[in-house]
Structure 1
């Protein structure tokens, strides 16, 4: 377990067989893991906060492993990812930005040589606040079929002095993706874009 104590860990997994179109035998799995931690900067302005990203790295790895396990444990099955944070009211949105590196690099470490940037979002909110976590293909940002979002939240978090950290992964494109663009099978994998 990481040095930063996790107050609560929530894992959610969806299995989608269809959205009104033909049913698939192998469902799309979409999952998220949320961790509630104390915000060490709550209630005051601190100029130098960037060092806290290093302390969050073990939290990121713990969360990424838990989510990968919940989705079946096979890193090669993960095709899209995203991250985000909800900062309690005594904090500021910049405290959520601390999650960019530790959250993104934790997933990239577990999933192997992914090329694409991990999409992200953050906001300030109170207990029960919900957030849409954007997801995109792990190797090419222009793969339109994998653009999606996963809505998450916890009924009693974040309290004013807390942060809810979020990681999200999926095992494929939207279940009935058919609006064109770069296909996953055509990814060159050179720059994280195409």
Structure 2
């Protein structure tokens, strides 16, 4: 498979103190890391692309570790998500190659994550933005942790590039009060509840 050619990474950090209501004791923190790489399949149809997922695994681990460093370690993480922006010379399936390397990297470094890592992807031009969904790391049905974080870059993805994103958060939405399964009621049996 082709080499992973990294042009740049971007890290983004948010600290949310309130959304109009009272400030909580601890602010919610969330961070994203975006990697801009050359799309080795841009401009042509390639039937066999799955092998590139294996090549992306080290990049996924580097990005997940950077998120853990930003947010203070795995013990602080309660939510996660991933996403892909595909430059105009590529196809949506090229973005899908991020599912395993991105998701498994976070789950491996967190050690106790049972829920599937939610994702989004789209084809877009330079400056495109992507909302990356976030759910609880151990139970996808925990409504308080349904969130998203916008990612993007002013100069990416170029037509022959891919922009891969990983996102983590430290807790529920500030002022969450929409009911449903609560984090303290997680059974941890199936990654859903």
Give the TM-score taking structure 2 as reference length: 0.97
Alignment partner of 1:43 is 2:43: yes
Which residue is equivalent to 1:158? 157
Shift, 1:5, TM fit:
3.0
Which residue is equivalent to 1:95? 94
1: CA distance, partners of 2:141 / 2:129 = 27
Deviation beyond 3 Å, 4+ runs, structure 1: none
SS at the partner of 2:6?
coil
SS at the partner of 1:62?
helix
Give a deviation string over 1:131-164, Cα, whole Å, max 9, x none: 0000000000110000011011100000000000
2: CA distance, partners of 1:6 / 1:27 = 33
Shift, 1:4, TM fit:
2.1
Shift, 1:26, TM fit:
1.6
Question: What is the number of residues matched between the two proteins?
Answer: 191
Which residue is equivalent to 1:30? 30
SS at the partner of 1:166?
strand
2: CA distance, partners of 1:127 / 1:25 = 39
Which residue is equivalent to 1:120? 119
- Computed over aligned residues only, the root mean square deviation of the Cα atoms, in angstroms, reads 0.8
Alignment partner of 1:171 is 2:170: yes
Shift, 1:30, TM fit:
1.0
1: CA distance, partners of 2:156 / 2:86 = 9
Mark the runs of 5 or more structure 1 residues left unpaired by the alignment: none
Which residue is equivalent to 2:104? 105
SS at the partner of 2:12?
strand
Give a deviation string over 1:51-100, Cα, whole Å, max 9, x none: 1100000000010011111112x201100000000000000000000000
Which residue is equivalent to 1:141? 140
1: CA distance, partners of 2:62 / 2:95 = 18
Give a deviation string over 1:15-71, Cα, whole Å, max 9, x none: 001000011232100110000000000000000101110000000001001111111
Give the TM-score taking structure 1 as reference length: 0.97
Alignment partner of 1:57 is 2:57: yes
